[in-house]
């Protein structure tokens, strides 16, 4: 499945100050590991996941992510970019993480820009 969203040029406009108190699904404080090499995208992902009630840990590459997974057995979801630096892409990271923790759920994301002909 592919979802194409318009590209934003410039800064993200600030949201109005509204207090949001939303529990994670099932009312739990599940832990999510957000893996993204782009600092701005990683911060944005962490902010969005935190706003809806998740506890979010972070890593900038696959090696760091595996260290975090080993250190925290409560991580329930791996939210990973597909394209990661350092010799391990998101799929390879997910494969290794699930080998170590078979119950781990994986959600892939990417900011890859495809330039080509029609859709």
Give residue-wise pLDDT tens across range 34-68.
999 888 888 989 998 898 889 999 999 999 999 99
**What are the domain boundaries of the chain?**
25-109
pLDDT in tens, 88-108: 999 999 999 999 999 999 999
In the block, tokens 């699930």 appear at 98
Q: By the 8 A CB rule, do 81 and 111 touch?
A: yes
| CA gap 88, 110 in Å, rounded | 15
Of the candidate CATH numbers 1.10.1200.10, 3.40.50.2300, 3.10.129.10, 3.30.1370.60, the domain formed by 25-109 belongs to 3.40.50.2300
């Amino acid at each position: 499945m592919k979802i194409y969203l318009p590209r934003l040029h410039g800064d993200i406009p600030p949201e109005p100050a509204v207090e949001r108190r939303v529990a994670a699904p099932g009312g739990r404080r599940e832990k999510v590991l957000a893996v993204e090499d782009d600092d701005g995208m990683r911060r944005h992902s962490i902010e969005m996941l935190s706003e809806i009630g998740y506890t979010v840990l972070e890593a900038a590459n696959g090696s760091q992510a595996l260290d975090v997974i080993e250190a925290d057995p409560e991580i329930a979801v791996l939210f990973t970019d597909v394209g990661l630096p350092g010799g391990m892409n998101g799929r390879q990271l997910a494969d290794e993480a699930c080998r170590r923790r078979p119950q781990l759920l994986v959600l892939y994301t990417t900011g890859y820009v495809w330039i080509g002909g029609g859709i």
